[in-house]
Structure 1
Amino acid sequence: MNQYTVMPIGTIINNGTQCAVQLDEKYRLGLKELNGFSHLCLIWWFSDCDNDTCRSVIDCVSPYVESPKVMGIFATRAPMRPNPIALSIVEILSINLDEGLITLAYTDANDGTPVLDLKPYTPSMDRIETPKVPKWCQKWPKSYEASAEFDWASVFNF
């Protein structure tokens, strides 16, 4: 089996007063010309779930109310995975090139979480006009923006 080395490029700041990506100094030049984009594809490491137990989960009891009772891990967005890699689409509020700080509207990544990569969100590559989802999640919001007002507690088992 091949082994791969992944090195963080920065960390998440999510401390109740600030939500941001803090890039390591050697990667700050990579922010050049990012300032015209409104959103990022934020790729981060589920560091809180990086252990043998979490990495061995292949199926799980579903966290969703109307879904099948047991689901394969790749049909969920659960943090337990063979490789604890996460992807979030985040809104950029501001970028400070000198400090390597990208202030975000929100992220679900915890404070101190390692950031692996950033990619600009571009509708021509990242937006699907008519995506299909299973029947059990068809009532979920159709956009990131609508998700803010949605009662997510009504669709989860916890």
Structure 2
Amino acid sequence: MKEFTVYPIGSIEGKEGAQFIQLAPGYAPALAGLEGFGHIDVLWWFDRCDTPAARALRIAGRPYTHGPAVMGVFATRSPQRPNPIALSVAQVLRIDQEAGRIWIAYSDAEPGTPVLDLKPYTPSIDRVGEPQVPGWCSHWPQAMERAGEFDWESEFNF
């Protein structure tokens, strides 16, 4: 297989309890037309989990409290995976195109985490009206708007 190089376009940062995506110099013009979207898909790099051992993991032992005893990493949201790429949907609070900054409501990424790409969240492409999930996670919230009230700490073993 062909190898390729990925370059960060910015990073996730925090300031006084708020989070934002700070674009690298030269990427601010790419924000044109993003205003008006309420959410964005953020592709970011689990840089603090990027080790040879984490990349070699193929089987995860009980990553979820209610899940099966053994799962393949592609059935998990674990940061330990062949390519430590994360995908998060973030609510857009404000865009400052001049500063190359997008203020977001929340991300589980740490400050300084590299951002690989951004895409506008569009319901016609990104939302599944009747998603199918295994029984062990069927009690999870059905929408991100309710996820903030859910006890996620009791669900994850990673």
Q: TM-score, normalized by length of structure 2? A: 0.96
User: Helix, strand or coil for the counterpart of 1:35?
Assistant: coil
Aligned to 1:77: 77
Separation in 1, partners of 2:124, 2:10: 27
Identity percentage over the alignment? 50
Separation in 1, partners of 2:9, 2:154: 36
Q: TM-score, normalized by length of structure 1? A: 0.96
**Structure 2: which 5+ residue stretches go unaligned?**
none
User: Does residue 52 of the first structure (1) align with residue 57 of the second (2)?
Assistant: no
Give the length in aligned residue pairs: 158
User: Helix, strand or coil for the counterpart of 2:30?
Assistant: helix
The answer on whether the counterparts of 2:18 and 2:105 sit within 8 Å (CA) in structure 1 is no
Deviant stretches of 4+, over 3 Å: none
CA offset digits 1:40-82 (Å, max 9, x no partner): 0000011011110110000111221111111100000000010
Shift in Å at residue 15 of structure 1?
5.0
The answer on whether the counterparts of 2:9 and 2:115 sit within 8 Å (CA) in structure 1 is yes
What amino acid maps onto 1:97 in structure 2? Answer: Q
Indicate the RMSD between aligned Cα atoms, in angstroms. 1.2
Separation in 1, partners of 2:23, 2:91: 16
The answer on whether the counterparts of 1:14 and 1:109 sit within 8 Å (CA) in structure 2 is no
Aligned to 1:32: 32
**Structure 1: which 5+ residue stretches go unaligned?**
none
User: Helix, strand or coil for the counterpart of 1:124?
Assistant: helix
Aligned to 1:117: 117
